[in-house]
Structure 1
Amino acid sequence: MINRIYALVKKEFRQIRRDARTLYLIFFFPVFLLMLFGYALSLDVKHVKIAVKNNDNSEETRDFIAMLESSSYFNVVGYIRSEHEINSWLDEKKAQCVMVFPANFTSDMRAGKNVQIQFLVDGVDGNTATVIMNYVTSATRFYNSLITQEFLERTGVSSFIPIDPQPLFWYNPDLDTTKFLIPGLFCMILITTGVILTTLSIVREKELGSMEQLRVSPMNSIELILGKTIPYTVVALFVAVLTLFISNIAFGLEIKGNFLTLLFTTIIFLIATLSLGIFISSVSDS
């Protein structure tokens, strides 16, 4: 039994080495999917292009603009001279957001009045527009806290914050979307690769007519399934390790925990995936 399975496994590895399509699926296809979806599906919005219409041109407005520029989320790409230029900046996609300071910004703020800053956001992409508004709202609140603290210090009143929330995000401190997209992409790559490789293996035997020879051979069904599954389990494990390695190099995705546990659960997952490929190939003739 072992000799027959070993002979079939050896034959499968030889066919894998000779088949260009299989080699493409093993080496190029996982890397292509990882790079494509890893970069294209990022939901992080950084380096938002902001144009500024500064009607006040005071030290306070310049401080607010400098605070935005110091963040990795904003890039001030230019200053608008007249109101008529605002539409062109948004229409021509030179800016994703236009920030307009009123002429009396500093005087009203020093007088204790409520001051409004207008943010005009390109709303073509609703998700990006919402994220941008959340960013500028958070930045404005932070600047408000600085101004309030400075005002209290000038009046001789010590600042007091009753509740100071300190959020801490476990497992993904930077809220990087690639940290949860890549693991899902890892499973998708294993499913796609495992199903396609196993399906091509058995269908190839049917197309070449060698499946009939295997059926009349002393090999039983269990030996045939094992002989067809073992090589592609090894290949799929190689694809899994390759994907994890590239994920670490390209996206900084680290494995936290026991690697052997991950490997064991990956094998169980691959057995289910390869079984699906065997089922598909058993009912398909081409």
Structure 2
Amino acid sequence: MKLSALIKKEFGRIRSEKRTLFLLFFIPIVLIVIFGLTTGGSPTKFFNAAIITKDNIPTYGDFPANSSQYDETFISVFSEGLSSFGFHGSYNVTNETQYLETKQYCIALLRDEIIDIFIVLAPNFSESIQRSIENNTNSQISYFIDGSDKEAINAVEISLQEPIGIFRQNIGMSGNFTTLIPYLEYEVPFWEKQALNYAFALIIPLIIIGTTMNFSCLSIVADEPLPRMLITPTSKSSIILSKLIANSLIMVLQAGEIFISTALFGLYALGDLFQLFLILIGIGLAGISMGLFVSALSGTEQQANQLYMMLFVSSLIFSPTYLNPETLPLILQAILYIFPLAFAQPQVFDITMKGLPLDLIVYLSLMILCAVYVFLAYIIFLFKKVEV
């Protein structure tokens, strides 16, 4: 049987799966409309802050000047009002005993959620700032925050760029420093659809993987029995290839739908849009490949649905949304990279939010992963008995 005839036959099967087609094209549109009509979503967060300054404590050794001119300037940045910080108050300590008592008091305020963060200025704060101005180097500040608030931990480093930037401007420390107005680096401008664009890199790859896997996970199981295939000599490689081609063509339509609909609702992308479309197609191809693997491995449609759910949930758990590959041992890293989201989500984020080009090595790795899933599907299907 010719490959074209097999592809046509697969399109006929796809047309009969109206529920699956509906989910494939309807779910992305619904989510894009919801996020597109939602306001807010900035990674910055409003913090109530307190400041402990140890700048009046005498210093020796490398910092003998005992200056305290810059701590008041830093505190004034908070007291005069910021978009990301409220100001609870400042505490000037002159010895370590007083500092420890004040620190415990601020920890109690943090525990009672009266403040969200408190900043500590070191005894050599002004001296180190003066040295930084003279030598064009950077100084450090310390802060304490509730470690159980994951959202706050992710947002505080971005939010702190505002007071630090204003402080550097006020003291004339502007060498090698760029102020991004009115928004911070890697932040979507407030006039764009922030909820949609911040969710894009996390939600869209997941939706594409889930819907395309569901779309193709019954493609082999639903073909049994195949009397015509046995009467007309047809290689199983042609059957697998025809299903891959037919399902992939439908997947490209879904990727185009997602790309166009997000553009209509205000897609904000610093990188190349064609490369973004390529990575969306790569994600869809990975979902199709995993679906074919599930379908080949399953004996019944019920088994296929169960394996689909198991593989989809595993893909979600072992994704960069919840796990940072750099902090994992090698065994868990290997498990992470057998799922396509480990390649897809960082690439989408880099293209849209950072304006970086498509990493060809990562994209090639994603294509190799797709090929592995298709090859496993073929091997399993090769040894599968087909009933007449």
Q: TM-score range by the shorter chain?
A: 0.5 to 0.7
* 1:14-163 → structure 2 map (5 Å cutoff): 14-17=15-18, 20-28=19-27, 32=31, 44-50=43-49, 63-65=76-78, 67-69=80-82, 71=83, 73-75=84-86, 90-97=110-117, 121-125=145-149, 128-129=152-153, 132=156, 135-136=159-160, 139=163, 142-143=166-167, 146=170, 148=171
Identity %: 15
CA contact (8 A) 2:51 2:75 kept: no
CA contact (8 A) 2:47 2:86 kept: yes
- For 1:279, which of 293, 297, 311 is the aligned residue? 293
Q: CA deviation at 1:251?
A: 6.7
Q: Using the alignment, how far apart are the partners of 1:255 and 1:118 within structure 2? A: 32
CA contact (8 A) 1:229 1:274 kept: yes
Q: 1:10 and 1:65, CA in 2 relative to 1: closer, same or farther beyond 3 A?
A: closer
CA contact (8 A) 2:220 2:292 kept: yes
Letter in 2 for 1:174: E
For 2:217, the equivalent position in structure 1 comes to: 199
CA contact (8 A) 2:7 2:245 kept: no
- For 1:176, which of 163, 187, 192 is the aligned residue? 187
| 1:27-82 deviations in Å (ceiling 9; x for gaps) | 2268659979xx9xx893322234799xxxxx98995345442x3x2245x789xx
Count of paired positions: 235
Q: Using the alignment, how far apart are the partners of 1:141 and 1:255 within structure 2? A: 23
The alignment's TM-score, normalised by the length of structure 2, stands at 0.44
* 1:236-247 → structure 2 map (5 Å cutoff): 236-247=251-262
Structure 2 gap segments, 5+ residues each: 53-71, 91-101, 121-140, 189-193, 304-388
Q: 1:245 and 1:89, CA in 2 relative to 1: closer, same or farther beyond 3 A?
A: farther
The alignment's TM-score, normalised by the length of structure 1, stands at 0.55
| 1:135-192 deviations in Å (ceiling 9; x for gaps) | 558625743752x46xxxxxxxxxxx6x7103499xx972239879744654444333
For 1:166, the equivalent position in structure 2 comes to: 177
CA RMSD of aligned residues (A): 5.1
Q: Using the alignment, how far apart are the partners of 1:168 and 1:25 within structure 2? A: 43
Letter in 2 for 1:90: L
- For 2:244, which of 229, 234, 238 is the aligned residue? 229
Q: Which has the higher contact order (CA 8 A, sep 6+)?
A: 1
CA contact (8 A) 1:45 1:131 kept: yes
Q: 1:214 and 1:267, CA in 2 relative to 1: closer, same or farther beyond 3 A?
A: farther
Q: 1:273 and 1:140, CA in 2 relative to 1: closer, same or farther beyond 3 A?
A: closer
What's the secondary structure of 2:218's corresponding residue?
A: helix
Letter in 1 for 2:116: Q
Q: CA deviation at 1:121?
A: 3.6
Q: Using the alignment, how far apart are the partners of 1:47 and 1:258 within structure 2? A: 33
